[in-house]
Amino acid sequence: MPNSSDYEDVGVGDRVRFGPNGGSQWWTVRDRDERFIVATAQAAFEPKGVLQYTVVDLTGWQDRKYNGAGNGVVRSSLNTLGGGWDIEADGAGAERIIPALRSGEWDLSYRRLVNVNAITREAS
């Protein structure tokens, strides 16, 4: 599980990778608060500018597990049909995810939940 130093300095515009070896996919941080980090990356096998997103929950899974994920920092997409969210090529739209989570309008998808064991940061 990442310690707070792994993500406390992560800011909007930084690039991050997830996993013990840094993973291979770089994600651009589009929004964050004390609990969530929203990041986007080029979607595989899609035209340039089609983005996928992920939401890191830094504190909300300290006391629960689901399908082997949990007890710690996790990431997932929103619990929408297919996990989709309208995000433009420049990342516009990602800033609406955290307010939707905070209001209770949406929650993270439990089915697509994975543990975040480490976060590698590249400052913007």
| Per-residue model confidence (pLDDT) at position 4 | 47
The answer to whether residue 4 sits within a structural domain is no
Q: Which residues partner with 56 through β-bridges? A: 37, 75
The answer to whether residue 86 sits within a structural domain is yes
The answer to whether residue 9 sits within a structural domain is no
The answer to whether residue 6 sits within a structural domain is no
The answer to whether residue 123 sits within a structural domain is no
| Per-residue model confidence (pLDDT) at position 80 | 80
The answer to whether residue 68 sits within a structural domain is yes
Q: Is the pLDDT of residue 49 over 70?
A: yes
Domain of residue 61 covers 27-114
Q: Which residues partner with 108 through β-bridges? A: 78
The answer to whether residue 57 sits within a structural domain is yes
Query: Tens digits of per-residue pLDDT, 63-105?
Result: 778 777 877 888 888 888 665 788 899 999 999 999 999 999 9
- Domain total of the chain: 1
| Per-residue model confidence (pLDDT) at position 122 | 87
